[in-house]
Structure 1
Amino acid sequence: MNTTFKKIAASTVLLGGLFTLGAAHAAPDQDLKGKTVVLVHGAFADGSSWEKVVPLLEARGLHVVAVQNPLTSLADDAAAAQRTIDAQTGPVVLVGHSWGGAVISQAGNDDKVKALVYVAAFAPDSGTSVNDLIKDKPAPAWAPELRKDSGNFLTLSDKGIAEDFAQDLTPAQQHLVAATQGPWSAGAINEKVTDAAWHHKRSYFVIADKDRMIDPRLQVAMAGQINATVTHANASHVVMLSQPKVVADAIIAAARNAE
C-alpha cells in the first residue's frame, strides 16, 4: 500500500468516525419520543419568536408546535392554545414566554399537559391578572414606547424593541422583531386567570437576568411562588432568541419528567 493511499484510507476512517460521533450526539433521546412541546408566544411577538428553539427540540426527538396567539384576550389566547393541545397525542409540555405565561396558566389544566415552562414570563395566580402583578411597581422605562392603534391594540416602538425588549440581539434581528411583532389588546392585561395550572402541574422557569420588560426580581418571586425548577440566563426578555440552547435545555428537562 503506497503512502498516498494510506493517507486517504486513514482520512476516510477518521471522517467516518467523526460522522458516527456526530450522528450519535444528534440522535433523538428515546425518553423524549412521543412527547409534544407546545410553545406559546408573548405580547409584541408571534410564533416565529421560537424559531431558534424549535430545531433544538426536534433534534432530540420531540414533536413541537408553536401556537399563533391572536393576542386579543386571555380567553382567546387560551382557546388557541387549547385547540393546539387538543390536536396532540401523548404527554404535552406547555411553554409560555412573557404574556404567554398567563396563557399557559389558564390553558395548562388539560389532562394532556404534564409540565409547564415559563420563559421570562408572567405566572399569575388564580383570580389574578398581569396588571395585578405589576400595578404597584414603578412604571418601566419602556412604557413611553408603547403605541396604541385605533382598535386599542398596543405595539412597541423600534426604540423600545432595541433598548428594552431585545437589547442583546443584533440591529438586524431587532429590526425583524419590530417588523413582525403582534399587536396586543390593551384590555388583556386586566383579565384574570381562573384556575392557575401551576397549582396542579410541575413547573419550570427560565429567568432572564437582563430583562427590561419583566423585572428579573419579579420573575424570581413568581418562580418561588410556583415552586418552579429555575434556570438563569444572562439575557434580555427575548432569551429564546438570544440564548436558545438555555431555553431548549430547560424544556428538554421538563419533557424528560413529563409522564
Structure 2
Amino acid sequence: MGEIKNVVLVHGLYADGSSWGKVIPLLQAKGLHVTAVQNPTTSLEADVDAVKRTLAQQDGPTILVGHSYAGMVITQAGDDPKVKGLVYIAARAPDAGEDYPALTKKFAAAPASAGLQWSADGYGLLSEQAFVHDFAGDLPEKEARTYFAVQQPVAKAVTTAKTTVAAWRDKPNWYAVSTQDRTINPDLERFMAQRMKAHTVEIPASHAVLISQPEKVADLIVQATHATDTH
C-alpha cells in the first residue's frame, strides 16, 4: 500500500473543528490534504453522516482521526472503503454494540463529568471550571477560556448512543493516551488501546492534547499515513 495523502479530522464533545487548529498546519507542512469535520453533536448518526459526507469528497485513501467522543464516530464511519487507518486521540473506542457508559464505570470516574450541565431542552455543556481545569488543564488559562467560548452543546441522545460496527477490528489503528487526562480516565484509554492492539503512544497531557501537544499528535497521524500496511 502506498503512502496516504488524505487526513480527515473529527472533533469531540465540548469542542468544534477549531480544536484541530494547531495540528492542521503541521500536517499540511508534510504535504497532506487535511479536512476537519464540523460534526453537529446532535446524535451519533448525524455525526457519522457528517464524516461520511467528508469522506465522499476525498480523492483516494484516507486516514480518519478522532478526538474524545469522536472515537465513537470514526469507529462507526471507519467502515467506509476509503478509510485505510484509524487514529484515536484520547478517544473513545467502543466495540460494536458496546454500552460505553457501562464500560467507563469499570474505571474511576473522570473529574470533568461532574461539571456537565444540562439545559431544560436536553443539551449539555461543561461548566467553565470543569472545562478550564479538567478538560484543558495543561493550557494557559487564557487560552483554555478561548476554547471554552467556542464549546459546542451536546444533545442528550449522544450519551446513550451505541456503535453498530467497530471498524478498528478490521483496519490498522493508532492510539494516543493522555496520561494526565481528567475527562477520560487514562487507564480506560489504555484498556481500549490494548484491546484494539493499537500502535500506542503515551503523551503527558490533558484531554486537550491536540491543543497542548500538537506536534506529538501530528507525528502519530503522519506515522499512520506511512504505515497503513501494518497492524
Structure 1 residue 133: Cα displacement: 2.0
RMSD value, Cα? 1.3
2:92 equivalent to 1:92? no
Structure 1 residue 177: Cα displacement: 1.2
2:83 equivalent to 1:113? yes
Q: Which residue of 2 aligns with 1:247?
A: 217
Greater CA drift, 178-187 or 113-122: 178-187
1:112-191 → structure 2 map (5 Å cutoff): 112-191=82-161
Q: Which residue of 1 aligns with 2:185?
A: 215
Equivalent residue in structure 1 for 2:208, among 238, 247, 257: 238
Unaligned 5+ residue runs, structure 1? 1-30
Equivalent residue in structure 2 for 1:103, among 73, 86, 89: 73
CA distance in 1: counterparts of 2:159 and 2:104, whole angstroms: 10
Does the CA contact (< 8 Å) of 1:91 and 1:258 recur in 2?
A: no
Partner of 2:202, secondary structure, is strand
Structure 1 residue 149: Cα displacement: 1.5
Q: Which residue of 1 aligns with 2:176?
A: 206
1:65-76 → structure 2 map (5 Å cutoff): 65-76=35-46
Structure 1 residue 35: Cα displacement: 1.4
Q: Which residue of 1 aligns with 2:31?
A: 61
Does the CA contact (< 8 Å) of 1:102 and 1:130 recur in 2?
A: no
Query: Normalized per residue, which structure has more helix?
Result: 1
Deviation readout 1:179-225 (Å, 9 max, x if unpaired): 10111112212111101100111000000000000011011000000
Structure 1 residue 138: Cα displacement: 4.1
Does the CA contact (< 8 Å) of 1:210 and 1:235 recur in 2?
A: yes
CA distance in 2: counterparts of 1:214 and 1:228, whole angstroms: 18
Structure 1 segments, 4+ long, off by >4 Å, are none
CA distance in 2: counterparts of 1:240 and 1:142, whole angstroms: 17
Higher relative contact order (CA closer than 8 Å, sequence separation 6+): 2
Unaligned 5+ residue runs, structure 2? none
CA distance in 1: counterparts of 2:48 and 2:157, whole angstroms: 15
The higher radius of gyration belongs to 1
Q: Which residue of 2 aligns with 1:11?
A: none
CA distance in 2: counterparts of 1:84 and 1:133, whole angstroms: 30
Partner of 2:219, secondary structure, is helix
Does the CA contact (< 8 Å) of 1:37 and 1:93 recur in 2?
A: yes
CA distance in 1: counterparts of 2:69 and 2:160, whole angstroms: 12
CA distance in 1: counterparts of 2:13 and 2:42, whole angstroms: 10
Structure 1 residue 136: Cα displacement: 4.2
